[in-house]
Amino acid sequence: MNISVVGTGYVGLVTGVSLAEIGHHIICVDIDEAKVEKMKQGISPIYEPGLDELMSRNIEAERLSFTINHQEGFRHADVIYIAVGTPENEDGSANLAFVEQAARDIAKHITKDTIVVTKSTVPVGTNDRILEIIKENQIHNMQIDIVANPEFLREGSALKDSFNGDRIVIGANNDYAAGMIEKVNEPFGVPIYHTDIRSAELIKYASNAFLATKISFINEIAAICERVGANVEHVAKGMGMDQRIGEKFLNAGIGYGGSCFPKDTKALIQIAGNVAYDFELLKGVVNVNQKQRALLVDKLNERFATLADKRIAVLGLAFKPNTDDMREAASIIVTEILIEQGATVIAYDPVAMENAKKLLHSNIIYAESVEESLEDADAALVLTEWDEIRNADPSGFQAMKSPIVFDGRNCFSVEKMRDSGVEYWSVGR
């Protein structure tokens, strides 16, 4: 099928590449010229394992191309996917400006009957609005069907998730559109769940909010563990063996970050608020996460009278491993507080340092390796559990001025760190 994808960020590019890989002809349209130039050469603008290789293969097979020209992008499309950003407004609600612009672009340039599929995470009712915008602005009077098809991929394992997802949700209000989008996705071999548009929109927010709730829940249990002398890993393991609870997303640490959980939890609180419902539980989840971000700095302040003359190594900057994405990364708040308290910060991340430099305080020093960042440090903070950090030999911490480690991701065994002579502070253990 001929498919266009509007917006080639983490979701749009992975969607375009995956759909090309299963045999569709894909044109990706983006307004960012530099990005499009890069992608035309088979270079991914984002770090995502396996993406460059799959991009190149499908470009060569002439199933995948890129353009900044909406007219060219939509000319032959039977289906158009919207995958533009829906960032957070100041009040926590979702900013729909990019989605609405994409709808106007579609309206202006389509010349045949089209199914418009929304991949972007959008509040309930947005797909109705998209259809309205297209109908109001279209130049040729074409049949438009709209499908809500929320995306569940995780950064760092986006391709794996696309080909092995737990479900593909298709929200449509007519059988023709639902059937067509089922056909598009059939080759993935992933279970398909059909529902109406509004339920599909809400499934996305409810899923992210539930996962965020699991994380804040285990982080509160971790706080209790520290106070009563229990081990949160043992508690999580014992809980997770109950299949009704499940073992996933029960890793305690410095809370959730990234481009989705922080904004989507707040957007769902707003969605509820808009219909006069106070989502108390989710407000608690957000507050706990806020508190969690500063946990390591609180522990540092408990350990040291002042940070003013301290050299602090920060290991890991991205919001999670295997991505260069810095959106809502814990490192943003943590390094800001450290600098504010007068510490010297030497940071290292295997992939995200270029993006970090654009975002973090200009006083931060960047190291080329874990070893270099640890040299002469008074303390080390682990913020992202990259394999390279997780697999580091605890004896390496002896290169520090004093081997004191604050681990926000529970990467190391408490016993091994103790045996290596490291003063080790982790979360809930």
Ligand X SMILES: O=c1ccn([C@@H]2O[C@H](COP(=O)(O)OP(=O)(O)O[C@H]3O[C@H](CO)[C@@H](O)[C@H](O)[C@H]3O)[C@@H](O)[C@H]2O)c(=O)[nH]1
Active site residues per annotation: 260
What is the token pair recorded at 157?
């394992």
Spatial distance between the Cα atoms of 188 and 192, rounded to a whole number of angstroms: 10
Strand ranges in 231-376 using DSSP code E only, listed in sequence order: 311-315, 344-348, 365-366
- Among 58-66, 82-90, 311-319, 408-416, the segment contacting ligand NAD (CB under 6 A): 82-90
Provide the total of helices (H) and of strands (E) in the chain, helices listed first: 18, 14
Q: Which does 9 bind (CB under 5 to 8 A by kind): ligand NAD, ligand X, none?
A: ligand NAD
Binding ligand NAD (rule: CB under 6 A), the pick from 1, 22, 31, 294 is 31
Q: Which does 366 bind (CB under 5 to 8 A by kind): ligand X, ligand NAD, none?
A: none
Task: Name which of 155 and 349 has its Cβ closer to ligand NAD.
Answer: 155
Task: Name which of 84 and 260 has its Cβ closer to ligand X.
Answer: 260
Binding ligand NAD (rule: CB under 6 A), the pick from 47, 74, 81, 98 is 98
- Among 7-15, 164-172, 176-184, 195-203, the segment contacting ligand NAD (CB under 6 A): 7-15
Residues listed for the chain? 429
- List alpha helices for 169-260, DSSP H: 175-185, 197-228, 232-240
Least distance CB 259 / ligand X (angstroms): 6
Exposure string for 319-356, b = 16+ CB within 10 A, e = fewer: bbbbbbbbbbbbbbbbbebbbebebbbbbbbbbbbebb
Least distance CB 63 / ligand NAD (angstroms): 20
The residues near 62 (Cβ < 8 Å, ≥ 6 apart) are none
Least distance CB 103 / ligand NAD (angstroms): 9
Cα dihedral sign for 233, 239, 242, 248? negative
| Residue reference for tokens 């580091």 | 392
Q: Which does 320 bind (CB under 5 to 8 A by kind): ligand X, ligand NAD, none?
A: ligand X
- Contact yes or no for 289/408 (Cβ under 8 A): no
84 binds ligand NAD (CB under 6 A): yes
Residue nearest ligand X, Cβ-based: 260
Report the greatest alpha carbon distance in the chain.
Answer: 74
Binding residues for ligand X, per CB under 6 A? Answer: 121, 151-155, 208, 211, 215, 249-251, 253, 255-258, 260-261, 264, 319-320
Q: Which does 392 bind (CB under 5 to 8 A by kind): ligand NAD, ligand X, none?
A: none
- Among 24-32, 56-64, 167-175, 310-318, the segment contacting ligand NAD (CB under 6 A): 24-32
Task: Name which of 310 and 320 has its Cβ closer to ligand X.
Answer: 320
Spatial distance between the Cα atoms of 30 and 68, rounded to a whole number of angstroms: 5
Least distance CB 12 / ligand NAD (angstroms): 6
